[in-house]
Amino acid sequence: MGAAANFLVIGAARSGTTALTSFLGEHPDVFVSTPKEPHFLAFPEGAPRFTGLGDDDLVNRTAVRGEAAWRALFEGRAEARLGEGSVTTLAHPDAAIPAIERCCAPGCRLVVMLRDPVDRAFSSWLYLRSRGYDAGTFEECLAAEEERTRAGWSHMWQLAGLSRYAGQLAPFAAAFGDRLLVVVQEEFAADPTGQLRRVLEFLQVDPDVDIDPSRRVNASGLPRSRAVTSALNTLRRSRSLRRLVTAAVPHRQRERIRSANLDPAGIDPATRSRLADSFADDVGALQELLGRRLTAWPTAEHVRGRS
């Protein structure tokens, strides 16, 4: 059968999974696949060719199609932990859970990172804008979300949909029990060293390896320069150029260049309040599932207001 993953970072999108997999990949006993998001487990029968703005670049280009190709990502690796970080896994539990049970190593461990649902949705929109994909304002994209999903746009455009965590997470919790670890992104940001140690202990690798989890990775914001954004997109889409730059420029330096072209942006307060109210029931259900209050989330205040 070949090599198999024995850990997964399964989501949620724009909740810090890229940063976490980057930090884990620095551990000598951990291997993270390239691409970080092969998307195979969510689409074990073959990933669809998404038709939305930017989807060729965001998903179609990197999706690994077929179990043999997915297993090949881990072939020949000697690290104790072999894994990947596809955020689509969390979003498609009905397909992903049987695929994990069939394709991953016995005892495979899963890590999920969750972020305040309003902030996650807004960050996803900012990320798309930072990549040069302008399909309207945040509010316009929210209004068009269901229609676009039906038309074949990828998960990245499901701004509100992917922020409803309880229904996505519950099947994973039922299937994997204590082999599932939930990390709250805001708690990770407040104590990156302690939270990374928690993840490493969960993965049963040495938690005392020197890794700096405080740096920014995969930041979002509105692009300052369309020319710079266009140049970065051209680089990403060219396999030969991307390979050349990756070899010549360290990842941290590439991230500094990308972040320098972004301006921070805030969500309209009225939109935040409306979205938080719409997410309140889901956050309440999630808190019941986790057995804890999500005090770091502004949206949780709306749950308390209803109880």
pLDDT tens readout for residues 187-244: 999 999 999 999 999 999 999 999 999 877 655 556 555 665 555 566 555 556 555 6
* Cα 89 from Cα 75, distance rounded (Å): 21
If residue 183 lies in a helix (H) or strand (E), which one and from where to where? strand 180-184
Are 172 and 93 within 8 A, CB to CB?
Answer: yes
Output the average pLDDT for the chain: 89
* pLDDT at residue number 265: 77
**pLDDT of res. 215:** 79
Residue 307: its pLDDT value, please? 43
Mean pLDDT of the 68-83 span: 96
Contact 32, 83 (CB under 8 A): yes
What pLDDT does 248 receive? Answer: 61
- How many residues are given for the chain? 307
3-state helix, strand, coil in the chain (%, to 5): 55, 10, 40
Burial 181-220 (b: 16+ CB within 10 A, else e): bbbbbbbbbeebeebbbbbbebbebebeeebebeeebbbb
| Amino acid, res. 131 | R
Most confidently modeled range among 7-16, 209-218, 247-256: 7-16
Beta-carbon contacts of 115 under 8 Å, excluding residues fewer than 6 positions away, are 12, 14, 15, 16, 123, 184, 185, 186
pLDDT (average), residues 39-46: 96
Q: Could you give the CA distance from residue 110 to residue 8 in angstroms, rounded to a whole number?
A: 5
35-49, 57-71, 239-253: least confidently modelled range: 239-253
Asked whether the predicted pLDDT for residue 91 surpasses 90, the reply is: yes
Separation of alpha carbons 118 and 129, rounded Å: 17
Q: What is the pLDDT of residues 103-130, one digit of tens each?
A: 999 999 999 999 999 999 999 999 999 9
pLDDT of residue 253: 59
User: The domain 7-118+163-217+280-306 is classified under which CATH number: 3.30.360.10, 3.40.228.10, 3.40.50.300, 3.40.1280.10?
Assistant: 3.40.50.300
Quick one: which of 300, 274, 272, 305 has its CA closest to 288?
A: 300
Residue scoring higher pLDDT (227 or 65): 65
Calculate the alpha carbon distances from 133 to 124, 217, 226 in Å. Answer: 11, 20, 11
Give the tokens for residue 222.
């509105």
Inform me whether the pLDDT recorded for 250 exceeds 80. Answer: no
| Closest to 38 in 3D by CA, of 112, 104, 88, 100 | 88
DSSP state of 159: T
Please report, for the chain, the start and end positions of each structural domain, with discontinuous segments joined by +.
7-118+163-217+280-306
Instruction: Determine the average pLDDT of the residues in 51-63.
Output: 94
